[in-house]
Amino acid sequence: MANRFSDTLFQLVHSLEKAEKRHFKLYIKRSSSKEDLKIIQLFDALDKMQEYDERILLKKISDNSKTKLANLKTHLYKELLASLRLLKTGENVDLQLSEHLDNARLLYNKGLKQQSLRIIEKAKELARVNQKFNTLVQLISLEKKIETLHITRSTTDKTEQMAEEAFQISSHIDRVTRLSNLALLLYRWYVMNGHARNEDDEIDIKAFFKSYLPKDLTKVNGFYEELYLYQSYCWYAFIRQDFLMYYKYAEKWVDLYRKEPHLKAIETGHYIKGMQALLNAHFDLRNFKKFEDTLKEFEDWEKSPEAQQHDNFRTHTSIYINSSRVNGHLMKGTFKEGLKIVPQIEEKLNEYSIFVDQHRILVFNYKIASLHFGSGNYEKAIDYLHRIIHGPMDMRIDLQCYSRLMHLLSHYELGNYEILDSLSKSVHRFMEKMKNLTTVEEAVFKFLKTSFQQSPDKIKGALQQLLNEIKHLEKNRFQTRSFAYLDIISWAESKVYNKTMEQVVHGKYMESKRR
């Protein structure tokens, strides 16, 4: 996919919908200069390409050198953005506010100060209603500039009110900035490392979290301040594997939208992310009924005009819903049933390939490998695990580690004993280097090492010993990451009780429902 969409203009052209392509051609043909007609030629050539190839472009666009083509591509890129802006302004509050601000500046520069102030007043009201304080501060800044440099006959009360509002917004923006920075940096920490591995990680995260929290938390109010506060607590709890706290703040996050449904159309991306966080919290806590209810709520919303409005929203809603569907099968032990939806998921990932980041692909590969492993399809599990093991190493060290461990167990299940000893040592070294070895993994490596020398009739006893060593660690917060990534307990139980792993996990699910 990286080669296929390596060119930015090619990406933009292939992201366009039919209506957007039609609008662009109507927009550009209004100025029928020779150069503009040439960019339509370039647009059509790019649109028909399945993969970007500059040599083909140079042949299709007559009288062109590489330098001319580069200039033509830059011109087309700008015109496409201009066309999209015209088409999409009415759909987005931020674009509407940006247009108002631009118009106010143009009118002011023309000397039409009163007209400029009227547009600013209208835009300020729109910004306040939608809590767009970053734009509001720009509008007030322009308003103050006009009032300071010119006689506009504004009242003293109005100027005092303007100064007070500017001060309040400044405090609000400072809190939003600190909280959004905290949420972003915690998310980055998770993408790089996964869950906290030990007490040192726990101490570091706690210190980092406290250092970034605004001192005036009691003054937190309004949608954006609360949104980023809840996001920060969500990531903080999730990294520390405090799943009750994670659930509490994910619920608060989504409740912001449940209380004021109109916000779903204004900050749709954050709503989608919040629903994903809430579904993950239900999954981690095995809240089976709430998980199903929340997934149904999300699936119903997916059909709404808000969800279908933009490529980003469609893509991420599809990704998170499909990810949750897989989680549902992993949670219930219905692995074979889950594998039936894999072709549909992969088709969607291919359809949205231009928008899907590498992290999402990594997670899906691991989840699909887990379905195959739980179903006993170890060769297929290995195929998906290879995509992770031989892929980028700059993110999710946790998945890199547990992919190798599942890969090792898959070879054990397939009876590939000739490579197990060297493979086991290699995986152990890797996990140790990445500081991902806990008591659970050490017990697994110990079992594998002894099982190489044991006869088949003694393996069951060794597995029972493994169970005895790790089962009591299920509630230990620094060991639960092992069970969250790879259900070693259910795997060992399936061997001890002569059941499939699917039967063991599904049995636990049914028992939990009865309780």
- Going from N- to C-terminal start, the domains of the chain cover 8-89, 93-150, 357-514
Predicted model pTM: 0.78
* Dist CA 248 CA 282 (whole Å): 11
- The first and second tokens of residue 353, run together, are 């390939």
- CA dihedral of 222, 223, 224, 225, whole degrees rounded to 10: 40
**Residue 237: what pLDDT?**
94
The CATH number that domain 357-514 falls under is 1.25.40
Instruction: List, in order, residues 6 or more apart from 212 with CB less than 8 Å away.
Output: 178, 181, 182, 185, 232
Supply the pLDDT for residue 402: 93
pLDDT for res 36:
60
**Residue range 374-394, pLDDT digits in tens:** 999 999 999 999 999 988 777
Q: What is the pLDDT of residue 70?
A: 86
- The set of residues, in sequence order, having a beta carbon less than 8 Å from that of 384 and lying 6+ positions away, is 365, 366, 368, 369, 372
Other beta carbons less than 10 A from residue 61's beta carbon: 17
- 156-193 vs 133-149: helix crossing angle, rounded to 10: 150
**Positions in the chain whose pLDDT score sits under 50:** 1-5
Residues 240, 473: Cα–Cα separation, whole Å: 16
pLDDT given for residue 472 in this prediction: 85
pLDDT score recorded for residue 3: 43
Distance CA 373, CA 402 (A): 13
The number of residues making up the chain comes to 515
Tell me the C-alpha distance between 485 and 241, whole Å. 12
Q: What's residue 2's pLDDT?
A: 39
For 167, 345, 393, 486, 513, the CA distances from 432, given in Å and listed in that order, are: 52, 34, 16, 17, 38
